[in-house]
Amino acid sequence: MELNYIALGIPAILLIIWIEYFYSKKANKVGVFKYESTVANLSVGIADRLFDLFFSAIFYSVYYYVYEHFHLFEIGKQWYVWIFLLLATDLVWYWYHRLGHEINFFWAAHIVHHQSEEFNYSAAARITLFQAFIRTVFWSILPLVGFHPDMVIPILLLHGVYSFFTHTRMIGKLGWIEKIMVTPSHHRVHHAANEKYLDKNYGDIFIFWDKLFGTYVEEEEEPTYGIVHPLTSYGFLWAHFHYYMEIWVAMGREKKWKNKLKLLFGGPESMNPRIRPILERRLRIYQNKLPMSSTYKSYINIQLALALIVLFFTVLLYKYMDGVSFVFICVLLVLTLINCGALLDHKSYAYYIELTRMFLTFLFLDYLIQGYWLSLSFLAAFAIVSIFYPIKGKYSEWVVGEQEKYA
């Protein structure tokens, strides 16, 4: 049986997050974890891992295509080439990362990674597929120069693993290592919203690029994490698309194409900060700040846990899945992640997401058994029960309580 053992990375990451959480509690480190942020971070990470399962093969094929048709030099695969490749990869990363902060079109994808107001290993998982598309364009420079994709791909995986471990507050400064390598201290600065720390420390493995190009700042006082204008919602879709919508609105206000392009390729400082509040009012994007009971959290936890279990087995058994099954699983998982965000915000529309997800689950089971009676039975049972019991009202009351009329 041919299994995809990359799936083992999922429980490994969860274990590391749990160890960090346990250690932060034992060390009385306040504010390292916040329940809502952790759920939102993991939700973004689940979606990225799911879609990366399909698109990573496309990305890798791009590297091979560029190398086979356009590479400029015959570099070879000698042992010392690995050293040059590591340095070259980190240099490309530095400029990809820096431009990701300085160009609005790129920042729209990268901003998701910075939205968490807590800094921990769950925030490291907060990466979107949009970033992967942009990274592929930049990293195609490596096979274009002449580095073989068989070497490029392992180095890129190394980059991903290393950068994960720099997302923590539980490791202090590391002495002389700080002068060469990117450490958690350096990366805490990068994730800070403090004015003195903004747009600094872009390096991924080596810090000397920042020192060379004038973007290095040492960590002094404790950073304030997140983006300058924090989001007012834990919504899954809003987190992914809000900045694209802001760019669209800002460009729509400009009559000249020259000004539109300046907004698209200009920096975040060119954006009007009043646009997002306008969009939030129009789309009713906000949190109902209600306390969460242990039962309520358990309900969200169960959904997130099931999403992680399904993700694990989807990655593990991906090669044995047909296209229809994979599409069903993707839709069901995304609906679950959207639903978790809706529940965190206490939104009553979670009811309709629940119904859609339940119906699609039975429809998927019907597909697997080559039948139709499960989904039809669900619709019939729901229709009958709804006549005698106010399901929607009770569910909405539980989710948003007396504030339902505002949700």
In this predicted model, what pLDDT tens digit does every residue of 192-211 receive, in sequence order?
999 999 999 999 999 999 99
Instruction: Report the residue count for the chain.
Output: 407
Residue 104 to residue 242: CA distance in whole angstroms: 12
Residue 128 to residue 130: CA distance in whole angstroms: 5
Residue 170 to residue 385: CA distance in whole angstroms: 51
pTM over 0.75: yes
Residue 63 to residue 117: CA distance in whole angstroms: 35
Element (H, E) at 134: helix 129-139
Contact yes or no for 233/208 (Cβ under 8 A): no
Contact yes or no for 235/285 (Cβ under 8 A): yes
Tokens of 318: 């991906």
In this predicted model, what pLDDT tens digit does every residue of 49-77 receive, in sequence order?
998 888 888 889 999 999 999 999 999 89
Sequence spans of domains, the chain = 5-213, 236-283, 294-406
Share of the chain above pLDDT 90, in %: 80
What is the pLDDT, as a whole number, of residue 401? 66
Residue range 6-31: average pLDDT?
92
What is the pLDDT, as a whole number, of residue 219? 95
For 245, residues 6+ apart whose C-beta sits below 8 A from its C-beta are 279
**Residue 118, helix vs strand vs coil:** coil
Residue 155 to residue 84: CA distance in whole angstroms: 11
Residue range 153-166: average pLDDT?
93
Return the C-alpha torsion angle 10, 16, 22, 24, nearest 10. Answer: -130
Distance of CA 330 to the CA centre of its chain: 16
Residue range 323-352: average pLDDT?
94
Q: Report angle CA 378, 380, 383 to the nearest 5 degrees.
A: 105
- Name the average pLDDT for the chain: 92
